[in-house]
Amino acid sequence: MIIDPEYCEFDPATQRLTVFMGLAHDKGGFQVRLRSWSEGGGVELKDGGRWKRNDDAFDYPIVSDTVCDLVPTHPLRAYHDALPADVTSVLSQFSSLQCRLLHVIGQFPESAEMAESAPILFWLASNMLGPAPSRTDVRRLYTRRRVSILEMFTVSSSRSHLKFLSKIREFSYLREDVELLRRMLIDDGFMKKVRHSRQINWPVLKVFFKQRYVMDLACAQGCLAAENCREAFRFLGKICIYISDIRMMCRTIDREYPEKEIYAMKSAFQIKNLHDRIAEEINRKERASIIARYGEDLPPSPLKGTKDIKHICTVEGLLDEGVEMKHCVGGYVDRVMDGDVFIYSVHAPERATMEVHRLLDGKFRIEQVKLYRNGKVSKETWKFLHRWLSGFNSKKTGP
């Protein structure tokens, strides 16, 4: 996120950046000030007419490609350009806590070596400094042995934990990653399963931690150390969707979930085939039993359709849609019966099936849109459907 120039001000004399946060500063908002490099960096918050140190008051990027692309007269770009090039080079790898890390390097320049050799630990350590650390606080922390720093973060630690951190690739450096990484490091059972991997893809690791069943799938074993992290992550995403659909379809037809069979499958293709077989079973063989179990009608939708966007209001209609479109929407009966999920047949700009969810605030979201055999819809179709839905959301639809 880039702050608009009218909400910030750079002083060339002091090389400080003042930012007006929240509302305009003369209408009840508040001000923060980023100290200059010569002052050691850090953030100050204006409180009661006085500036007080508080590194927690501001966490927007001050170094990024987007900042570099700003015009030189933009206050944020001017502040960036006033920093030493070697310092901005260090900060560029971190997507959060940059002001805090700038203060760390400003107070203890030797810490920049850790930013290069152990960047995740360098970033994590800054979270243990508090909102207004002194030079002594910074030096005391960053001169400790690295295993000791990590021990402060997790209560107990070892060299194997340090080695684990050094293997992580594609780390996102988001604020929420701090607590997530802490939970991983103190989970001995999880660590035993993943720490010996030759390299660790962070997006994949998060999937493994949050959805434990995934890392035990035979077809997912190579994803953690895959050379192409993004491809591995997309691969897991497909598998998770197939498995979620299989669980749902099994509930719809009251069939036992084939857990052992799925865990043993060594490719996504095998899981997809199982998914398609169950969908076909629902669409063609289980029609009578499903209608007998759930009844004929689905809950009514509060979203009025059009000639091209038609709400599917019966169980039989949902099953027919699955047969016609060759996908598993026929297995969504159980989900739709809750009354917060609505399925529509879309007939223009292209033939598709759309799933809409009612959110807790009463508004609606398009969850997915699929073509024949789960094909991807065009951008034109997405825009067409979002325009249709935005008309309902703008009316502040109630629950």
Dihedral Cα 331, 335, 338, 340, nearest 10 deg:
-120
Cα three-residue angle 389-393-398, rounded to 5 degrees: 125
| Nearest one of 24, 20, 75, 10 to 46, comparing CA atoms | 20
CA dist 87 and 101 (Å) reads 10
Element (H, E) at 232: helix 229-252
**DSSP states along 330-385:** GGGHHHHTTSSEEEEEE-SSS-EEEEEEE-TTS-EEEEEEE-GGGPBPPHHHHHHH
pLDDT value of residue 56 = 93
| Nearest one of 27, 91, 69 to 7, comparing CA atoms | 27
Place of tokens 């929407």: 329
Cα distances (Å, whole numbers) of residue 252 to 54, 177, 244, 316, 341: 54, 37, 13, 14, 15
pLDDT value of residue 396 = 53
CA dist 222 and 318 (Å) reads 37
CA dist 190 and 192 (Å) reads 5
Q: What is the pLDDT along the chain (399 residues), one digit of tens a residue?
A: 678 889 999 999 999 999 998 654 444 578 999 999 999 999 999 988 899 999 999 999 999 999 999 999 999 999 999 999 999 999 999 999 999 999 999 999 999 999 999 999 999 999 999 999 999 999 999 999 999 999 999 877 788 999 999 999 999 999 999 999 999 999 999 999 998 999 999 999 999 999 999 999 999 989 999 989 989 999 999 999 999 999 999 988 888 999 999 999 999 999 999 999 999 888 877 888 899 889 999 999 999 999 999 999 999 999 999 999 999 998 899 899 999 999 999 999 999 999 999 999 999 999 999 999 999 999 999 999 999 999 898 875 444
Question: Residue 195, exposed/middle/buried by CB under 10 A (0-12, 13-18, 19+)?
Answer: middle
CA dist 131 and 109 (Å) reads 19
Q: Which residues share a beta bridge with 366?
A: 356
Q: Read off the pTM.
A: 0.76
Instruction: Give the end-to-end CA distance of the chain in Å, rounded to a whole number.
Output: 32
Please, are residues 305 and 312 in contact by the beta-carbon 8 Å criterion?
A: no
pLDDT value of residue 24 = 46
| Nearest one of 112, 220, 376 to 102, comparing CA atoms | 112
pLDDT value of residue 28 = 54
Determine the 3-state secondary structure of 200 from DSSP: strand
Question: How many CB atoms neighbour CB 222 within 10 A?
Answer: 12
pLDDT value of residue 284 = 77
